[in-house]
Structure 1
Amino acid sequence: MESVGSGLAAIDWNDDRADVYLSRPDKRNAMTVPLMDDLVAAFERVDADGDVRVATLLGEGPVFCAGMDLEMMRDRVEPDAEIDRNKFPDVLEAIEETRQPVVAGIKRAAPAGAFELTLPCDFRIIGRNAKYGLLEVALGTFPHGGGTQRLPRLVGLSNAKEIVLSGEFVDPEEAADMGLVHEVVDTDAVDERAKALADDLCENAPLGLRKGKQALNAAFDMPLERGLEYERRLGHELDDTRDYREGFEARLEGREPEFCGE
């Protein structure tokens, strides 16, 4: 595993798959400014690597992420505290704008900011006993790292209001029923299942994965007519690619395609 930046995030390169780890296990991977900087750097590296087809976001050690570091959050409320309030949004944007699909593995805990950290990921695998929810209204504030904006797009406004305004954990099975997470597994199987899903996705054409993600991410940002036009434009960009021809030739010949991202 290769450390990134200050060493609070790491990347494990596995052929077509890159596993990005929050690497602060002694603090349950609670997020600090250096850790957030490292995560941005990690996903920028993944995005720039043309050989990576799919990435995962995992927590090193027994816990995915305990949320924001409480000492950091206490210090930031001091009147003279110098705070860069863009750090966390930068992390979420880096994940969201990574060209490759990202699979989050949520084991044991992902409260508050950690919950929001999973929202820009494209797939979420969760342990059946995970503590997963937005608790901010019980702490004198409300989730404003994307929770009120990304969450309704995933589960609808009514479900999002229940999650945000109750300040309670969401049962993993209920999270799956509302489409918030994609699969509930035993706690000890979370990371391996996230990697297995990523490997399954890696079997598909990398350019198709990237363009498909790009089109889907734009779906709520424009009217339907413009969205359809954008979708067609992205699709036509692949018409003359080697992988597009390979996909159809392999299907006609009854064999597995050999995609190369060209």
Structure 2
Amino acid sequence: MQEIGDGNVLLRIENHRADVVLNRPERRNAMNQALLGDLRTALEEVEARDDVRVMVLSGTGDVFCAGMDLEMMKRRGEDDAPDLEMGLDDITHFIDDMSVPSVASIKGAAIAGAFELVLPVDFRIISEDAKYGVIEVELGLFPSGGATQRLPRLVGLSKAKELVLTGEYIDPYEAEQCGLVHEVVEDRSATDDRAREWADSLAENAPLGMAYARQMLNAALETPLEHGLEREGELGEMLTETDDYTEGFTARLEGREPEFEGR
């Protein structure tokens, strides 16, 4: 594992998969300014590498992330506190715009800011004992890290209001039923492995095809249908001129697994 910055985030590249690991276990991986800075650096490195086709976001220890560091958040309300650039919005926007698909391993807990951190991630794998929810209204706040905008797009407005305005945790199996998470894992210790299995399966697909598909899917709800279909056709035509397009169909005709190169 490579330490990023001050070591609050670890990075490992393996078989076209980037493992980005929050590494502040003594604070249940709570996000402070140092961790957010290291996380942004790790994400930028992942996006810049040609050999990465999928990313897994996880946490060291038994808990994915307990949210924002409470001591740091408390300081925000003090009159003499210095300005704190939180950075969570920048990170979630960056994940939205990444070219590679992503998988989150939510073991133990992902609350408040951590809940919002994983909303732009494409696939969320959760342990069945995880505390999972947006609890900001119980802390004198509201979820301003993306939940009021991304959550309705994932689960519908009515369910989003229930989660945000009650501040209650959602049961992982209920989260799976409403499409908020994609799989529930019984054994907390197996959650990271299961997320990596999802990622490794994704990494077998054509990277350009996934990148274009992710781009169009993320824009679908905000793009007029006619414009979206037009752009979809343009990207599809561009892919027919790539080596991966030729390899995909050649491999299928020859009865073998394709060897995509991302070009």
Q: Same fold (TM over 0.5)?
A: yes
Measured after TM superposition, the shift of residue 215 of structure 1 is 1.0
The alpha carbon displacement at 1:86 in A equals 5.2
Contact 1:44 1:98 in 2 (8 A): no
Matched-pair identity in %: 58
What amino acid is the match of 2:103?
A: V
Q: Residue in 1 aligned with 2:64? A: 64
Aligned: 1:210 with 2:232: no
- The answer to whether 1:242 aligns with 2:243 is yes
Q: Which residue of 1 aligns with 2:38?
A: 38
* Deviation, structure 1 residue 59: 0.3
Partner residue, 2:162: 162
Match of 2:122 in 1: 122
Tell me, in whole angstroms, the C-alpha distance in 1 between the residues paired with 2:235 and 2:159.
32
User: C-alpha distance in 2, partners of 1:145/1:233?
Assistant: 33
2: CA distance, partners of 1:236 / 1:60: 43
Q: How does 1:1-262 map to 2 (within 5 A)?
A: 1-85=1-85, 87-186=87-186, 187-262=188-263
When the two structures are superposed, what TM-score results if normalisation uses the length of structure 2? 0.97
1:6-41 deviations in Å (ceiling 9; x for gaps): 211110111210100001111100000111111111
TM superposition shift of 1:100: 0.5
Note the alpha carbon deviations across 1:97-125, whole angstroms, 9 max, x for none. 22100100000011100100110100000
Q: Distance in 1 between matches of 2:85 and 2:238?
A: 37
Judge conservation of contact 2:67–2:110 (CA < 8 Å) in 1: yes
**Letter in structure 1 aligned against 2:216:** A
* Cα deviation digits, residues 43-97 of structure 1 (max 9, x gap): 1110111110100000011110000000000011112323344511011112222
TM-score (norm 1): 0.97
Letter in 2 for 1:134: V
Aligned residues: 262
Structure 2's unaligned 5+ residue stretches are: none
Distance 2:82 2:145 in 1: 18
Q: Contact 1:37–1:91 at 8 Å: present in 2 too?
A: no
* Paired AA for residue 225 in structure 2: L
Task: Report runs of 4+ in structure 1 exceeding 6 Å deviation.
Answer: none
Range moving further from structure 2, 24-33 or 211-220: 211-220
Determine the C-alpha separation between the residues in 2 that align with 1:26 and 1:140: 25
Q: Does the C-alpha gap of structure 1 residues 88 and 248 become closer, same or farther in structure 2, counting only changes over 3 Å?
A: same
SS of residue paired to 1:67: coil
Separation in structure 2 between the aligned mates of residue 174 and residue 100 of structure 1, nearest angstrom? 28
